[in-house]
Structure 1
Amino acid sequence: MLSVRVVGTARTLLNPTRLLTSRQCVSRGVICALECQSRSLSGKGTGHSILKLTPLEKDPELLHNGNIKNYCTAQVKVSCWNCKHALDQTPAFFCMLCKVVQPPAEGVSYFQIMDCDYTFALDTQKLQKRYLQLQRFLHPDNFSQKSGTEQEYSESQSALVNKAYKTLLKPLSRGLYMLELQGLRIEEGTDSGADSEFLMELMEINEALDAAPTPKEANKIGQETKGKLADLTEQIDAALRKGELQAAKALLAQMKYFANIEEKVKEKLSQFM
């Protein structure tokens, strides 16, 4: 058996274009085995695994007897907790042999769970579709007549899918999560990274919103804020594509402020109702 050990920096591993995809590995007759204690590349230090989950809608054989059938992309030494059959995929939601739900895999990123490309500009429609598909099979209501272990694992899997979906759905939480995978975090309640001109702009916007006499005025501020968020989204995407993490971090800090203003606009409009 031939195995290839993936070695590289966090930045390299986090960029799927720098690595051979699983399809390329298979086409060359090479079995890609990722060797680490958590059975996949963790978000700390090494980053995002190259294992890719086949979309449910693209493989009719993925569904079998009402459960999700595993699609092998690489060999990983993980076994079913129930029948000890080798699981061929990470993450593995169900055992292909005995069909029981599996516990959440360690060290698997939200991008892997939701079968999304590791990119800031991901397809949110595909994300939502994936979410609905997973919850259809993993929801705890489906396991009310199963063993206590299966009920526990279904609850854990369903909760993890919910968290992954909510994190990746919005640009701000998605970008912050991508920075976390790189070991960067924006501290709460700190303005040290914002210049005085930017803080003054924010203060003026907040004051104008508080004093807005009509829904029309509040809506105007809301539309301007959406425009700023859209512009920041493009800048953050460009920075992350270039690997400029500090620039992305600074832009995400600005996005947090404008996202907060967007929520305040909604609150203001509710006061007029």
Structure 2
Amino acid sequence: MSTSLLNKDAWHSNMNIRALEKERWLTYYTNQANLPRNYCTGQVKLNCWNCKQPLDKMPAFFCMSCKVIQPPEEGITYFKIMDCDCTFTLDTQKLQKRYLELQRSLHPDNFSQKSVKEQEYSESQSALVNKAYKTLLKPLSRGLYMLELQGMHIEEGTDSGADSAFLMELMEINEALDEAQTPEKANEIGQDTKGKLADLTVQIDAALRKGELQTAKALLAQMKYYANIEEKVKEKLSGFM
């Protein structure tokens, strides 16, 4: 009887944790989608390190008053840095455009004649923009980062605990790719893989919007395997050239 009660209490505890986790993500996702582009999550307004004037725009790469480069803002998300909506299906063309614009203004070569502090800030900002761009560019790293924002720290190489049917399917695809004797056959496998990745993208986006983080995690694990196959297809095709 006592064991039954303990199991029941544990079940309710797990359900409560999942409900809180889902509620927290839904609140975050909704708020991120509705925030103004230059919204700063911090409560304290920052001032320019050089002229001490308030920095109105967040993230502030440069002071609007004295035009001096600023240090990276602590705790700012990659989505804010790249001026993107916090969504799994973001516009990668807009992301690339933002990246090029930032690197043109922040690149260390532009600050070779400036003070040591400005050179250091340039290197830090440029490196941060590079990391943000690379993380958000690919769906897999983007999705894992979105989970990390909710406290789910997952490495890209984490084992998914995939079922045997899924692993068997992956083995068959890899074998077919190894045995492909023509670029047409390899390309056929590549196109099929792209279709699976596109379907997973839709499913992951839906799971994130619903706050179903464990589902999103499992789908991202599947995406990792198909992304690996996509890379193998590219290597196979290059071998035919």
TM-score (norm 1): 0.74
Q: Between the two proteins, what is the percent identity of the paired residues?
A: 78
Go from structure 1 to structure 2 and tell me whether the alpha carbon gap of 1:125 and 1:102 turns closer, same or farther (over 3 Å shift).
Answer: same
5 Å-filtered alignment, 1:1-273, equals 10-11=24-25, 13-17=27-31, 21-22=35-36, 52-53=37-38, 76-187=44-155, 189-273=157-241
Q: Quote the Cα distance in structure 1 between the aligned partners of 2:156 and 2:134.
A: 20
Deviation at 1:15, TM superposition (A): 2.1
Deviation at 1:178, TM superposition (A): 0.4
Go from structure 1 to structure 2 and tell me whether the alpha carbon gap of 1:136 and 1:166 turns closer, same or farther (over 3 Å shift).
Answer: same
Report the number of matched residues.
Answer: 219
Q: Quote the Cα distance in structure 2 between the aligned partners of 1:19 and 1:125.
A: 19
Go from structure 1 to structure 2 and tell me whether the alpha carbon gap of 1:113 and 1:192 turns closer, same or farther (over 3 Å shift).
Answer: closer
Counterpart amino acid of residue 29 in structure 2: N
Deviation at 1:194, TM superposition (A): 0.5
What is the Cα-based RMSD across aligned positions, in Å? 2.3
Deviates more, 1:253-262 or 1:90-99: 90-99
Counterpart amino acid of residue 135 in structure 2: T
Larger strand percent: 1
Deviation at 1:193, TM superposition (A): 2.2
Larger helix percent: 2
Deviation at 1:75, TM superposition (A): 6.9
Q: Quote the Cα distance in structure 1 between the aligned partners of 2:56 and 2:126.
A: 21
Deviation at 1:86, TM superposition (A): 2.1
Structure with the larger RCO, 1 or 2 (CA within 8 Å, 6+ apart): 2
TM-score (norm 2): 0.83
Name stretches of at least 5 consecutive residues in structure 2 with no aligned partner: 1-22
CA contact (8 A) 1:73 1:88 kept: no
Go from structure 1 to structure 2 and tell me whether the alpha carbon gap of 1:190 and 1:13 turns closer, same or farther (over 3 Å shift).
Answer: closer
CA contact (8 A) 2:160 2:221 kept: no
Go from structure 1 to structure 2 and tell me whether the alpha carbon gap of 1:18 and 1:158 turns closer, same or farther (over 3 Å shift).
Answer: closer
Q: Quote the Cα distance in structure 2 between the aligned partners of 1:124 and 1:19.
A: 17
